[in-house]
Amino acid sequence: SSKSSNLNETQNDENAYLQPLDVPSAVRSLSKQDMSRFWGTYRSGHYLGLRTRSEKSLLAGMMWLNNKSPRNEIHGDIFRHKCNQDNQLKYGWKEHDGENFGVQSVEEKNYKIWTKFLKQQVGGHGGDWTVKVETEGTGTTTFAFYFVTDSDGYLKVPLGHDSADELDKFVEQENTAFWTYSDYLNKITDLEDDVMRRLAGEYIELNNQKVPHFWFDEPKYDKNYRKPNHKNHQVVVHSITCEHPCSFEVNFNSISGNHERKRPLVGEFFDEELARHRKNFKRVFGSRIKLQEEFSGEEHLEFAMAAVSNMIGGIGYYHGHSLVQKKGEKVTPNWDAPLYTAVPSRSFFPRGFLWDEGFHQLLVSRFNPKISIDSLCHWLDLLNKDGWIPREQILDEEARQRVPDPFIVQGTDRANPPTLLLALDYLVSSEKLEKEQLQALYPRIKAWFSWFNTTQTGPISGTYTWQGRHIGSENLELNPKTLTSGLDDFPRASHPTKDEYHLDLRCWMALAAQVLGKMAIKLGQSNYEYLQLEVELKDNTKLNKLHWDAEEKQFSDFGLHSHNVKLVRKLVPHTGYIQLFPFLMKILESDSEQLGATLDMIADPEKLWTDFGLRSLAKSDPMFNERNTEHDPPYWRGNIWININFLAVHALDFYSDEPGPYQTQAQTLATRLRQNLIGNVFRNYKETGFIWENYSESDGKGQGCHPFTGWSALTVLLMEETKF
């Protein structure tokens, strides 16, 4: 692609930042190759996209189109393939366990499609699977189910309607197959056009019947398909046109399972096996995620299961490299590596994000810790020699096509909050991480921590600075962004300088030191270094000295800020999520004036309190709901975000148990905030069928992209009986 053609220069081996950290791979340390997650719905940016967890994979997927509707009646793509918000479809996994099965529904205007994915572990290569498609409603739909080979294999699917058909589990009205080639796996997008040209409307008369003209289409470029050249990926597409309601099965059998397979996964056996797994899923769900009495009804349970299932069903597997850049050097490809990760949104951001993943795995680890450990090992294997992990994982051409150029390149000095440690901390304290696994991860976590503690330090001892704010861009943006912090446009010092320092990062470092110290003890190693830093970073006197603004009665960043028309170095008086961090990380002493002031800020409807959750920026803040540029609407300047609200509820729970002058206030706020959040996210789900990226502070409506079953799905943990 033109985007990267000038970037594929040979790597300079002396550049440490382009090499993986020099300790044994965490992924490889996982107890022998576990095949239970080999096949999966890992192309989660598609309505139904399957692949294996291997570098090169046979891909499978499905698309469909509305034959009967005139084009202009259909929203979005005429060919439904990639998840696209413009299609205005309601879709998502109702149940998905990440290992055995998933049940998804997709709602078109006049009909509904169920995609039921089920696996059977036989043989040594991840076993068999079947996709059963069932529809309800009226009208006719043409489905196209396809397979794409990696560049080594080839498909031997006999063509023609009268030959024995290896994909013959279709129950169809019209059933056609054809070949095509994709010269590049990642340009599978072109497949839509190709299939479209062949399917869209071109019918011929045959025996007084209208049939698609490609019925007996000869393979187009298949002269040498038995010896495909390495660039080519062979594609076979099977199309089925049926009248609703209808159903068909696509059954994949792994040859290595032939001697073990009692029955193929089709027909009655499929239905029985699926029913068995669904029952088991509900049982396991109920035992691992116990909902409070008031949420134990059908509707809440369905919501909770859908939230978890979409998080798990959205997990993707990628293989490729980021494009990275060290300050002052040219953009270079990183090494090729796999990533198994949940994604914030299947439609908009179907790829990995570092700080999102820590929140994702807090939820996933409740249901299946093995999945979380697997993900964390993959993420921590991405550490380079310096201990850096790229924030946004845009690993292949398909991912790069979705992202505008300036956002693709990852700077090697750029951080993102170390939330993976939140998930790890949970796994360690709940004894779900085995000692050997921790042993394998520990050197990586140490290296990551040490990268933070050397590259992100501020101008004076005990201070930390997010690198990478745009110095000198204050005339272009209302307030130059801090993407690395995760709270992109939350206002900071008006004029970025090298010597500003940030409150939230200091608090993240306190948390990191605390978690590392705990892990060291668990492994019987010295925790001295971490304990010392934890104590220093949690010292309220030191914290207040650096970040407490006595006049504004709040904590703040420090930097060059315009104040009464003058530019001065001072504490930056904005009010919102950043100000909560010492409270969120439970650093504040329970009888401190600072805790009291923070709780007041939370409870004040002119500041953070709304009936739907806490606002990201106070209503009273001068930048409340302000655009950053003409093209950049307010994002973290008022909207309600669930990840921070989740941390807030847990901090309130914590202070609710701490005797002191603010205990009762914390208790009241915890109860009310929890109720507001659950009530609103649930109401939106009922009304729209989706969990959203963020919620409006004025009426609670879901906003931004959807489905966003990333951290917003943490609502489920707020519904739990036992507090986190």
- Which residues contact ligand 6A9 (rule: CB under 6 A)? 344, 348-349, 353, 355-356, 402-404, 407, 486, 488, 710
Residue closer to ligand 6A9 by CB (options 135, 419) is: 419
499 included as an active-site residue = no
Name the maximum alpha-carbon separation found in the chain: 89
Dist. CA 177–CA 238, nearest whole Å: 4
Rounded to 5 degrees, φ, ψ at 649 are: -60, -40
Residue closer to ligand 6A9 by CB (options 318, 655) is: 318
Residue 481 beta carbon to ligand 6A9: minimum distance, rounded to whole angstroms? 9
Strands 140-148, 233-243: pairing is antiparallel
Residue 407 beta carbon to ligand 6A9: minimum distance, rounded to whole angstroms? 5
Residue 693 beta carbon to ligand 6A9: minimum distance, rounded to whole angstroms? 7
Cβ–Cβ contacts within 10 Å for residue 86, how many?
9
Residue 78 beta carbon to ligand 6A9: minimum distance, rounded to whole angstroms? 20
CB 684 within 8 Å of CB 692: yes
Residue closer to ligand 6A9 by CB (options 402, 570) is: 402
CA 370 to chain centre: 17
Per DSSP, 611 falls in state B
Residue 444 beta carbon to ligand 6A9: minimum distance, rounded to whole angstroms? 21
Residue 61 beta carbon to ligand 6A9: minimum distance, rounded to whole angstroms? 20
Q: Provide the β-strand partners of residue 105.
A: 92, 114
- E strand or H helix at 325, and its extent? strand 323-325
Residue closer to ligand 6A9 by CB (options 228, 491) is: 491
Task: Tell me whether residue 186 is exposed, middle or buried, using C-beta atoms within 10 angstroms of its C-beta: 0 to 12, 13 to 18, 19 or more.
Answer: middle
Closest residue by Cα to residue 235 from 247, 209, 249, 217: 217
Structure tokens at 656: 């609710």
Kindly provide the b/e burial profile for residues 192-209, where b requires at least 16 CB atoms within 10 angstroms of the residue's own CB: bebbbebbeeeeeeeeee
Dist. CA 345–CA 358, nearest whole Å: 15
Closest residue by Cα to residue 41 from 28, 56, 53, 24: 53
Residue closer to ligand 6A9 by CB (options 25, 85) is: 85
Residue closer to ligand 6A9 by CB (options 407, 528) is: 407
Closest residue by Cα to residue 75 from 90, 57, 58, 97: 90
Residue closer to ligand 6A9 by CB (options 221, 407) is: 407
Residue 63 beta carbon to ligand 6A9: minimum distance, rounded to whole angstroms? 20
Decide: helix, strand or coil at residue 234. Answer: strand
Residue 488 beta carbon to ligand 6A9: minimum distance, rounded to whole angstroms? 4
Q: What's the N-to-C CA distance of the chain in angstroms?
A: 46
Residue closer to ligand 6A9 by CB (options 105, 643) is: 643
Residue closer to ligand 6A9 by CB (options 49, 517) is: 49
- E strand or H helix at 50, and its extent? strand 49-52
Dist. CA 260–CA 649, nearest whole Å: 50
Cβ–Cβ contacts within 10 Å for residue 342, how many?
29
693 included as an active-site residue = yes
Asked whether the CA dihedral 496, 497, 502, 506 is positive or negative, the reply is positive
Residue closer to ligand 6A9 by CB (options 239, 341) is: 341
CB 676 within 8 Å of CB 687: no
Ramachandran class of 417: left when φ > 0, alpha when ψ lies in -120 to 50, beta otherwise: beta
Dist. CA 562–CA 572, nearest whole Å: 9
CB 494 within 8 Å of CB 560: yes
Per DSSP, 612 falls in state T
Kindly provide the b/e burial profile for residues 590-616, where b requires at least 16 CB atoms within 10 angstroms of the residue's own CB: bebebbbbbbebbbeeebbbbebbbbb
Residue closer to ligand 6A9 by CB (options 105, 341) is: 341
Task: Tell me whether residue 558 is exposed, middle or buried, using C-beta atoms within 10 angstroms of its C-beta: 0 to 12, 13 to 18, 19 or more.
Answer: buried
Residue 206 beta carbon to ligand 6A9: minimum distance, rounded to whole angstroms? 43
CB 352 within 8 Å of CB 411: no
Residue 414 beta carbon to ligand 6A9: minimum distance, rounded to whole angstroms? 12
Residue closer to ligand 6A9 by CB (options 348, 379) is: 348
Residue 537 beta carbon to ligand 6A9: minimum distance, rounded to whole angstroms? 23
Residue 190 beta carbon to ligand 6A9: minimum distance, rounded to whole angstroms? 19
Query: Is the N-terminal amide bond of 418 cis, ω within 30° of 0?
Result: no
CA 636 to chain centre: 19
Residue number closest to ligand 6A9, CB atom: 344
Residue closer to ligand 6A9 by CB (options 251, 694) is: 694
CB 496 within 8 Å of CB 561: no
Catalytic residue from among 488, 539, 593, 720: 488
Residue 385 beta carbon to ligand 6A9: minimum distance, rounded to whole angstroms? 25
Rounded to 5 degrees, φ, ψ at 269 are: -60, -40
Structure tokens at 211: 């049939």
Structure tokens at 500: 């500003």
Catalytic residue from among 95, 621, 693, 697: 693
Dist. CA 349–CA 316, nearest whole Å: 11
Closest residue by Cα to residue 618 from 678, 547, 556, 682: 556
Dist. CA 571–CA 240, nearest whole Å: 65
CB 501 within 8 Å of CB 465: yes
Active site residues: 488, 693
